[in-house]
Every structure is written in structure tokens, then in C-alpha cells.
């Protein structure tokens, strides 16, 4: 009971919005005071956005943009340095037969694979805004998040120390579903601090909500705001290890949260749907949803990413069709 009134770590955004009296109680009251979500209406809006049709001359640009927003991902227990080298090569040159193909935004690997990724990238390692590829590491006992805070922070620091530019953390879903919003909040704040480098800069923090386990849209809305208030740079839908992963309605909902945050403060937070986006057609629908919800300004690597692996090849196939005029096949794109 005393936890209710104990002060939470004074994350800057939360203090600004909720005032100096930042406690479990005040945080809970704020989150529970957010407008509810009608699932039927939300899903219908997403379905409506999915009917938008892009003209052919815009399709090429859309496909390129999708590639530029991909975090090319491998997150398997069986990952090896060899696998990571193969992934990086694909990230840099997705389609060797077509040098006009852009690079992806980042590669996403387990923390202990970061050194292999950094080495493989070499001079191409850097900010996607500069045409380079960044390294994102999952951390905090990904995917379950079930470990002590100390372990999760160590996981984070280790990845940052070996060169990760971005950290994809998972929230404590158990704590969230038990209503311990303060616990979830403080963990995010701590992980954000663990992203601090010696030179004072921070790795960019993506907060994975694992929407498939939060289940309800009301929970996703609350978790989105919680993650933003705690200092996340991105809110991300899923680990990709639980179904359902990213869906258009849930992504729409999260875009509405960053939209509202921007209207409130003028600040920018990014959104990353991850898992389950396999076709270009689907990815284009996400682009449309972003454009009509927060604006095309968000369609850049620092504000939107696709967490995907097989999506890239489908986009390449579509690119090839546009280039050659006929349908392509799996033999004409490389596996990684």
C-alpha cells in the first residue's frame, strides 16, 4: 500500500505532465483517465485505411521508403557470427542485381551478437539519416523480460558498451497486468539511464509493449503513454515471438498516442510495428496509416521502423516487377 505514494523516479516528461508529485497513484490515475478505445471502431478505421490505393508511379517510391525503414532482424537462439555477417551483407546490398536498391535502416540482433554486426558493417555503420546502417540490440532478458532488474540493466549496458546504437527493451508485462504501473515505469527509466554512454550521449531506446500479451487496446493505450512518459524514444509493438504480433489496428492506436503526445508537447516519439508484416502490400498500408494519422513527416528512420525479416524480400520482388514489367520469383532474391 505504501508503494502507492512512494515517489517514482522523476523522468522528465512525466514530471512535466503530472507535476512533481509523481507516484504510483498519480501515474495510475493518469493512465486510467485516458480515453477508452472501442475495438470495433478502431479496427474499422484501420480497415478503411487499408483500402487506400497508391498510384503506380508512387509505388516505387513507397517500396524504397519501406526498405529504408526496415530493421532487418535475426533473433534466434541459433544465431552465429556467420549468420550475422550474412544478415549485414543483405542489409547493405539487398539486391545485388539492382544497385539502385536503398539500404535498410538498421540490423537488429541479440546483444551478444552486436560486436559481430559492428565488425561486419565496418564503415557503413552509422546513422541512417546519413545513408549508413545502425545496430539495434534487443535487451532486458528479451523476449520474456522475466529476470531481475539488475540482470536486465546489465544486459542493456553490455550491448551499449559493444556499440549498439539502439536498444529494443521489453516492458515487464506481468507487472503491467498486475497493475504495478510504477514498477514498469521505473524499469524503463532505469534502462534509459543504462543506455547512457561515457561521452554523455544515449543509445536510442525502443520500448516493446508486447501488445499480444497486453491483449486489450485499452492496455496498449496505457502502456504507450507510460512508455512515452518514462522516456522512450520509440514505442514498439512486439518481440515477434508472441502471436499476434504487429497488427494495423494496434499500430494505428500507437500512432494516435504519439500524435497526441506531439500535439501536447511538440515532441517526437517513434513507432515500430514488429513481427507479422510479410508482404509489401501490408507494409504500404502501414505507410498510409502513418501518413493519415501523424503525417508523412513520420516516415523517416528516426520516427518509424518496420521490425521484419522476410518483408525485405517481398519488397525486392515487387521492385523487380516494377523494373522489369513481369512477376519475379524467390530464386531472384537472396536469402540471408
Partner 1 sequence: MTRLTIPKTYKLFIGGKFPRSESGRSYEVRAADGGFLANASLASRKDARDAVVAARAAGSGWAGATAYNRGQVLYRVAEVLEGRREQFAQEIAASEGVSLADAGRQVDRSIDTWVWYAGWADKFVQVAGAGNPVAGPYFNLSVPEPTGVVAVVAPQGEASLLGLVRVVAPALVAGNTVVVVPDEAHPLSAISLAEVLATSDVPGGVVNVLTGSPAELAPWLAAHADVNALDLAGAGRLEWVDLEISAADTLKRVLRPEPGVPAATLDRILAYTETKTVWHTKSLL
Partner 2 sequence: MKDIETTGRGFLDYAPAPESTSILHLRDSYGLFIDGEFRDGTGGSFTTISPATEKPIAEIAIASDADVDLAVAAARGAYEKTWSRMSGSDRGKYLFRIARLVQERARELAVAESLDNGKPIKESRDTDVPLVAAWFFYYAGWADKLDYAGLGANPRALGVAAQVIPWNFPLLMLAWKIAPALAAGNTVVLKPAETTPLSALLFAEILQQAELPAGVVNIVTGAGATGATLVRHPDVDKVAFTGSTAVGREIAKTVAGTHKKVTLELGGKAANIVFDDAPIDQAVEGIVNGIFFNQGHVCCAGSRLLVQESIHDEVVDRLKHRLTTLRLGDPLDKNTDIGAINSAEQLERIRRLSDLGEQEGAERWTAPCELPENGFWFAPTVFTNVQTSSTIAREEIFGPVLSVLTFRTPAEAIAKANNTPYGLSAGIWSDKGSKILAVADKLRAGVIWANTFNRFDPASPFGGYKESGYGREGGRHGLGAYLQPRVEVAEEPAKRASRSPRPTKKGAGK
Would you please indicate which residues are annotated as catalytic (active-site) residues?
A: 168, 236, 272
Determine if the peptide bond prior to 329 is cis (ω within 30°): no
Binding mask 213-242 for partner 1 (x = CB under 8 A): --xxx-------------------------
Q: Which is nearer to partner 1, 39 or 151 (CB)?
A: 39
User: What Å distances lie between residue 255 and 35, 184, 221, 282, 318, CA to CA?
Assistant: 15, 21, 10, 16, 27
Q: Which is nearer to partner 2, 173 or 222 (CB)?
A: 222
Find the binding residues for partner 1 in span 17-46 (CB under 8 A): 38-41
Q: Taking CB within 5 to 8 Å according to partner kind, which of partner 1, partner 2, none is near residue 215?
A: partner 1
Closest separation in Å from C-beta 85 to partner 2? 30
Binding status of residue 324 toward partner 1 by CB under 8 A: no
Distance CA 214, CA 39 (A): 14
For cell 549468420, what's the residue?
83
Q: Taking CB within 5 to 8 Å according to partner kind, which of partner 2, partner 1, none is near residue 4?
A: none
CA angle 323–324–326, rounded 5-degree value: 125
Pick the stretch among 48-56, 135-143, 212-220, 230-238 that binds partner 1 (CB under 8 A).
212-220
Closest separation in Å from C-beta 123 to partner 2? 22
Binding status of residue 243 toward partner 1 by CB under 8 A: no
Binding status of residue 129 toward partner 1 by CB under 8 A: no
Distance CA 271, CA 224 (A): 10
Q: Taking CB within 5 to 8 Å according to partner kind, which of partner 2, partner 1, none is near residue 2?
A: none
Give the number of other CB atoms < 10 A from CB of residue 259: 17
Q: Which is nearer to partner 1, 176 or 304 (CB)?
A: 176
Rule CB under 8 A: which residues touch partner 2? 35-38, 40-42, 44-45, 51-55, 57-58, 61-62, 65, 129, 256, 268, 287-288, 291-292, 295-297, 299-300, 302-303
Distance CA 153, CA 164 (A): 14
Q: What does the DSSP assignment read for 224-273? A: HHHHHHTT-SEEE---SSSSS---HHHHHHHHHHHHHHHHHHS---EEE-
Closest separation in Å from C-beta 43 to partner 1? 8
**Relative orientation angle of helices 248-265 and 217-229, to the nearest 10 degrees:** 40
Closest separation in Å from C-beta 218 to partner 1? 8
Q: Taking CB within 5 to 8 Å according to partner kind, which of partner 1, partner 2, none is near residue 206?
A: none
Q: Which is nearer to partner 1, 156 or 211 (CB)?
A: 211
The percent of the chain in helix, strand and coil, each rounded to the nearest 5, is 50, 10, 35
34 DSSP assignment? S
Closest separation in Å from C-beta 180 to partner 2? 23
Cα–Cα nearest to 184, from 194, 192, 176 = 176
Ramachandran region, residue 273 (left: φ > 0; alpha: ψ -120 to 50; beta: rest):
beta
Q: Taking CB within 5 to 8 Å according to partner kind, which of partner 1, partner 2, none is near residue 314?
A: none
Cell matching residue 296 = 508523412
Closest separation in Å from C-beta 81 to partner 1? 41
Residues 6+ away with beta carbon under 8 Å from 181: 24, 27, 28, 31, 175, 222, 226
Q: Taking CB within 5 to 8 Å according to partner kind, which of partner 1, partner 2, none is near residue 310?
A: none
Binding site for partner 1 (CB under 8 A): 38-41, 215-217
Amino acid at each position: 500500500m505504501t508503494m502507492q505514494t512512494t515517489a517514482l523516479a522523476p523522468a522528465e516528461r512525466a514530471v512535466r505532465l503530472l507535476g512533481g508529485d509523481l507516484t504510483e497513484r498519480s501515474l495510475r490515475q493518469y493512465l486510467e483517465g485516458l480515453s477508452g478505445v472501442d475495438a470495433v471502431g478502431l479496427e474499422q478505421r484501420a480497415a478503411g485505411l487499408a483500402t487506400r490505393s497508391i498510384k503506380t508511379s508512387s509505388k516505387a517510391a513507397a517500396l524504397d521508403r519501406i526498405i529504408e525503414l526496415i530493421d532487418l532482424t535475426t533473433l534466434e537462439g541459433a544465431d552465429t557470427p556467420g549468420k550475422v555477417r550474412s544478415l549485414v551483407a543483405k542489409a547493405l546490398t539487398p539486391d545485388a542485381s539492382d544497385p539502385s536498391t536503398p539500404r535498410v535502416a538498421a540490423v537488429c540482433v541479440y546483444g551478444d551478437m552486436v560486436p559481430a554486426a559492428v565488425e561486419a558493417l565496418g564503415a557503413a555503420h552509422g546513422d541512417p539519416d546519413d545513408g549508413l546502417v545502425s545496430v539495434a540490440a534487443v535487451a532486458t532478458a528479451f523476449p520474456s523480460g522475466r529476470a531481475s532488474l539488475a540482470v536486465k540493466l546489465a544486459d542493456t549496458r553490455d550491448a551499449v558498451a559493444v556499440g549498439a546504437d539502439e536498444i529494443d527493451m521489453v516492458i515487464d508485462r506481468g507487472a503491467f497486468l498486475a497493475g504495478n504501473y510504477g514498477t514498469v515505469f521505473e524499469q524503463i527509466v532505469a534502462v534509459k539511464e543504462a543506455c547512457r554512454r561515457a561521452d554523455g550521449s544515449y543509445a536510442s531506446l525502443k520500448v516493446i509493449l508486447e501488445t499480444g500479451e497486453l491483449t486489450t487496446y485499452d492496455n496498449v493505450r496505457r502502456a504507450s503513454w507510460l512508455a512515452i512518459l518514462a522516456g522512450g524514444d520509440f514505442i514498439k509493438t512486439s518481440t515477434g515471438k508472441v502471436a499476434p504480433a504487429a497488427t494495423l489496428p494496434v499500430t494505428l492506436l500507437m500512432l494516435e498516442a504519439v500524435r497526441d503526445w506531439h500535439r501536447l508537447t511538440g515532441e517526437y516519439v517513434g513507432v515500430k510495428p514488429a513481427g507479422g508484416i510479410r508482404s509489401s502490400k501490408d507494409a504500404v498500408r502501414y505507410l498510409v496509416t502513418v501518413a493519415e494519422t501523424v503525417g508523412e513527416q513520420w516516415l523517416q528512420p528516426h520516427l518509424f521502423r518496420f521490425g521484419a525479416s522476410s518483408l525485405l524480400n517481398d519488397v525486392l520482388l515487387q521492385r523487380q516487377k516494377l523494373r522489369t514489367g513481369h512477376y519475379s520469383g524467390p530464386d531472384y532474391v537472396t536469402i540471408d
